[in-house]
């Protein structure tokens, strides 16, 4: 089936102009929803709070430990990602629940452009909120952790973004949250119903770390950690003991990127070929 070169309105907008207009329309929708702001704020709040609590609960006895301070202070990402998923899911499924999607697609018939605009906006917003959350988490870790035994004497310099691996962990965590948003957007576009989409995303994310924790078979365990979007993606937070990781940090984030790309492609196909 070949659709007509629909979408270019009579005014004869250029492709770029059309894209900009779509982006602007989507931005207006997202911006004027009260929930967007609240959810972004709670991404920061939950991430920072869980990170700070973990910092406060962590201890490194004198004589050293195997802990990874960057990972500890970024633990909040594991909770904050749940809210990121909700933001991304609501960006599309909110339209289905209210019937707005029909207006959207009537006004902007190029469906993939609409999805691309949504993806860009959601990614941008999560990138910004994630950056704030991660920066604050690292800063709090830098303040709290030395009081819990993570001192130079035990082999742990204070967390600093000037340290290469810590910078990688911090930037990587922001990218991780962004990729989680794209994964969620893709799944939500495919299943449409917000509750189902959120359940699917979070089930998919959390099932791997929980299952691998009890799989006794090392071979299985390693494979599960390599393919799980959350277990692989969070490899990016490692700054010590890199040799024991099932994947290198960037490979791990790459696995998550593949998941996100796969979800977006499925979402795009469903959006393109199914009645709204």
Partner 1 sequence: MTTLSPYRSTEREARDGFGQLLHAEWTKFRTVRGWVAGMILAALITAGLGVFLAKASANPSCSSQTSADQQGPVQHGAACGGPGYALGPGGEPVQDQFYFVRQPLAGDGSITVRVTSLTGLGQGTNNGVPFGAIAVPWSKAGIIIKDGTSRGSAYAAMMVTGGNGVRMQWNYTGDTPGTPGTVSAASPRWLRLTRAGDTITGYDSADGTHWTQVGTVALAGLPSTVQAGLFVTSPSHSTYSSSLGVGTGSSNPTQSTAVFDHVSRTGEWPASAWTGEYFIEDGEMAVQGNGYHQAGGRFTVTGSGDIAPLVSGALNDGPNITVRDYLLGTFAGLIAVAVVAALFMTAEYRRGLIRITLAASPDRVRVLAAKAIVIGSAAFVAGLAAAAGAVLIGTDIAHSSGSALFPEPWPTELRIIAGTAALVAVAAIFTLAVATMVRRSATAILIVIVTIVIPFVLSAPPGIPTGLTEWLLRVTPAAAFALQQPSPQYYQVQANYIPSSGFYPLAPWAGFAVLCAWTALALILAAYLLRRRDA
Q: How many CB atoms lie within 10 A of CB 60?
A: 20
Q: Which of 30, 40, 43, 46 binds partner 1 (CB under 8 A)?
A: 46
65 binds partner 1 (CB under 8 A): yes
Does position 43 interact with partner 1 (CB under 8 A)? The reply is no
| From 123-131, 136-144, 151-159, 207-215, span contacting partner 1 (CB under 8 A) | 207-215
> Which positions from 104 through 163 interact with partner 1, judged by CB under 8 A?
none
Q: 156 to each of 68, 169, 263, how far by Cα in Å? A: 9, 16, 39
Question: Rule CB under 8 A: which of 168-197 touch partner 1?
Answer: 193-196
**63 touches partner 1 (CB under 8 A):** yes
32 binds partner 1 (CB under 8 A): no
Nearer to partner 1, 108 or 197 (CB): 197
CA distance linking residue 235 with residue 160, whole number of Å:
19
| Paired tokens of 214 | 């009890």
To partner 1, the closest distance from the beta carbon of 73 in angstroms equals: 10
Contacts 24+ apart (CB under 8 A), 145-151: 145/55, 145/58, 145/69, 145/72, 145/73, 148/55, 148/56, 148/58, 148/59, 148/60, 149/59, 149/60, 149/61, 149/62, 149/65, 150/58, 150/60, 150/67, 150/69
**Residue 219 class from Cβ within 10 Å (0-12 exposed, 13-18 middle, 19+ buried)?**
exposed
Query: Which of 5-13, 14-22, 70-78, 267-275 is the region at the interface with partner 1 (rule: CB under 8 A)?
Result: 70-78
Cα(39)–Cα(17) distance, integer angstroms: 30
Which tokens go with 15?
Answer: 């492709």
Candidate list 8, 105, 167, 211; residue touching partner 1; CB under 8 A: 211
14 vs 66, beta carbon nearer partner 1: 66
Asked whether 182 and 122 are in contact (CB, 8 A), the reply is: yes
220 binds partner 1 (CB under 8 A): yes
28 binds partner 1 (CB under 8 A): no
Site residues, partner 1 (CB under 8 A):
35, 46, 50, 53-54, 56-59, 61, 63, 65-68, 71-72, 75, 78-79, 82-83, 86, 89-90, 93-94, 97, 193-196, 198-199, 202-203, 206-207, 209-218, 220, 238, 241, 244
């Amino acid at each position: 089936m070949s659709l007509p070169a629909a979408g270019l309105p009579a005014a004869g907008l250029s492709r770029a102009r059309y894209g900009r207009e779509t982006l602007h329309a989507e931005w207006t929708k997202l911006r004027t929803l009260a929930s967007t702001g609240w959810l972004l704020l709670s991404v920061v709040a939950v991430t920072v709070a869980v990170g700070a609590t973990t910092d406060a609960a962590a201890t490194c006895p004198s004589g050293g430990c195997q802990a990874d301070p960057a990972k500890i202070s970024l633990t909040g990402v594991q909770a904050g990602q749940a809210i990121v998923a909700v933001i991304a899911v609501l960006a599309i499924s909110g339209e289905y629940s209210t019937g707005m999607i029909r207006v959207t697609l009537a006004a902007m018939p190029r469906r993939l452009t609409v999805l691309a605009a949504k993806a860009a906006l959601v990614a941008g917003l999560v990138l910004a909120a994630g950056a704030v959350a991660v920066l604050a988490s690292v800063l709090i870790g830098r303040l709290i952790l030395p009081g819990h035994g993570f001192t130079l004497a035990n082999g742990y310099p204070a967390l600093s973004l000037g340290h290469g691996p810590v910078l990688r962990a911090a930037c990587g965590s922001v990218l991780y949250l962004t990729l989680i948003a794209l994964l969620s957007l893709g799944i939500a576009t495919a299943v449409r119903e917000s509750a189902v989409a959120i359940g699917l995303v979070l089930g998919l994310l959390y099932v791997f770390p929980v299952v691998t924790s009890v799989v006794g078979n090392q071979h299985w365990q390693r494979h599960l950690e390599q393919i799980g979007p959350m277990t692989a993606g969070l490899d990016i937070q490692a700054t010590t003991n890199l040799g024991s990781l099932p994947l290198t940090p960037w490979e791990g984030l790459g696995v998550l990127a593949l998941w996100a790309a796969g979800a977006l492609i499925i979402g795009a196909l469903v959006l393109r070929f199914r009645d709204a």
